[in-house]
């Protein structure tokens, strides 16, 4: 079945252009001209991925992302005409999985979309029947690689695909300190660039989610000036 993708942008030219890129890859496309229309659509239809422009009328992309994250883990790719770090950080802190600045290369856009859909597929479908689930225990936390699930004291913690990948990377290498550059290149599989705050933002959000379920138990430790680690 073809993946269904929602494209929300107040510029008709951008919506139509992204639709062409996505249709060429065999995806189904639904378009929204503002944030409210996007919210209305996902109330009535299941989509496999959302492409959200940050600056939209009625409801902006940041607020749409926040609303979606209250109930869904649908992959979200944020778009912005701005390149400032704060814009990127704000988008990621609301739970977006990835971020691109306009104008962007069509090939890069489709590669990012495919990567997000691939992670989402494994997240939702690797709940296999194998009894040999790849489990890692860290304190009261259980990380199940096969099923892409994280459980604390019987309660499942809802993580985005990126957050899970970061957690699993460190948990499967207990005691090892990972720099932001290493984490970015292993999880995003792209070249790290200077002043990239993406990893910091994702780890901050990941910690917030873990703290809410672990009653103060610290899982991810910061090694100042070096990076992050999970203890044995």
Asked if 145 and 134 touch (Cβ cutoff 8 Å), the reply is: yes
Could you tell me the pLDDT band of residue 131, with boundaries at 50, 70 and 90?
Answer: very low
Asked if 205 and 166 touch (Cβ cutoff 8 Å), the reply is: no
CA distance 87 to 19: 25
Residue range 197-213, pLDDT digits in tens: 888 889 998 998 888 88
Instruction: Tell me the average pLDDT across 130-158.
Output: 77
Half-sphere exposure of 86 (CA within 13 A, CB side): 0
Q: What is the model's pLDDT at position 129?
A: 41
Q: What is the model's pLDDT at position 123?
A: 60
Residue range 161-211, pLDDT digits in tens: 889 999 999 998 988 999 999 998 888 877 777 656 888 889 998 998 888
Over its C-alpha atoms, the chain yields an Rg (Å, rounded) of 18
Predicted TM-score of the model (pTM): 0.63
Tell me phi and psi for residue 7, to 5 degrees: -110, 115
36: helix, strand or coil: helix
Instruction: Tell me the average pLDDT across 83-104.
Output: 75
Q: What is the model's pLDDT at position 130?
A: 42
Instruction: Tell me the average pLDDT across 117-128.
Output: 65
- Number of Cβ within 10 Å of residue 104's Cβ equals 11
Q: What is the model's pLDDT at position 88?
A: 65
pLDDT tops 90 at residue 128: no
pLDDT tops 90 at residue 51: yes
Could you tell me the pLDDT band of residue 87, with boundaries at 50, 70 and 90?
Answer: low
Which of these ranges, 24-33, 65-74, 90-99, has the smallest mean pLDDT? 90-99
pLDDT tops 80 at residue 223: yes
């Amino acid at each position: 079945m073809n993946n269904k993708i929602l494209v929300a942008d107040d510029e008709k030219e951008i919506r139509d252009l992204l639709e062409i890129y996505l249709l060429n890859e065999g995806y189904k496309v639904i378009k929204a001209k503002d944030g409210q229309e996007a919210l209305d659509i996902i109330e009535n239809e299941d989509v496999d991925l959302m492409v959200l422009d940050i600056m939209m009328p009625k409801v902006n992309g940041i607020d749409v992302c926040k609303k979606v994250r209250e109930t869904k883990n649908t992959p979200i790719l944020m778009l912005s005409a701005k390149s400032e770090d704060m814009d990127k950080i704000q988008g990621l802190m609301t739970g977006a999985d990835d971020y691109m600045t306009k104008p962007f290369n069509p090939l890069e856009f489709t590669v990012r979309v495919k990567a997000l859909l691939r992670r989402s597929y494994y997240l939702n479908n690797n709940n296999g029947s194998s009894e040999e689930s790849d489990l890692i225990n860290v304190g009261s936390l259980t990380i199940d690689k096969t099923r892409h699930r994280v459980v604390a004291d019987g309660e499942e913690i809802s993580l985005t695909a990126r957050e899970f990948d970061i957690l699993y990377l460190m948990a499967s290498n207990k005691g090892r300190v990972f720099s932001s550059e290493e984490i970015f290149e292993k999880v995003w599989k792209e070249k790290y660039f200077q002043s990239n705050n993406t990893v910091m933002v994702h780890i901050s959000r990941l910690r917030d989610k873990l703290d809410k379920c672990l009653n103060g138990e610290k899982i991810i430790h910061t090694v100042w000036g070096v990076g992050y680690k999970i203890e044995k």
